[in-house]
Amino acid sequence: MTRRTSGWLPLAGALVLLAGCARPFTREHFEMLQVGVDDREDVRYVLGKPTADLQDQWFYDDLKRHYSAVVFFDPDGRVQAKEWMNAKTGEWEGRNPNADEPPPGEVRERHKTTTRIDED
């Protein structure tokens, strides 16, 4: 083995290890995030790279499993709130902290129809 080849082997091994350590976006990992405690670096470590990065909001989607999430950050970069949506079950948990509260007694959403999502 030449010197040049032996120099690339440790680098290739490190890349394989890093690829194997990538954490998938799952509900269990999403639940690990703590509001007011975790920052952007923690969120990226736990959930991975966001699907969309809008500075104070990071969006995550898993189209195969039909769920998505939004993580909201405060001006200091800490998790301010988080939102989980599962299109398969209709579950929607959490709230945008910058949205206005509905007036008392007012319902802003009503669902009268359902959509079936077939297994892929």
| Alpha-carbon distances of 64 from 19, 61, 83, 87, rounded to whole Å | 21, 9, 19, 11
| Alpha-carbon distances of 97 from 82, 92, 103, 107, rounded to whole Å | 9, 15, 16, 18
Q: Supply the pLDDT for residue 94.
A: 85
Q: Supply the pLDDT for residue 20.
A: 43
Is 17 a member of any domain? no
> 63 by DSSP, 3-state: which?
coil
Domain span at residue 71 reads 24-99+116-120
- pLDDT tens for each residue of 39-79: 999 999 999 999 999 989 999 999 888 899 999 999 999 99
Q: How remote is the C-alpha of 77 from its chain's centroid? A: 15
Is 8 a member of any domain? no
* Nearest alpha carbon to residue 46 among 65, 67, 23: 23
Q: Supply the pLDDT for residue 105.
A: 73
Is 1 a member of any domain? no
| Predicted confidence (pLDDT) at residue 16 exceeds the cutoff of 90 | no
Least confident of 3-7, 22-26, 27-31, 81-85: 3-7
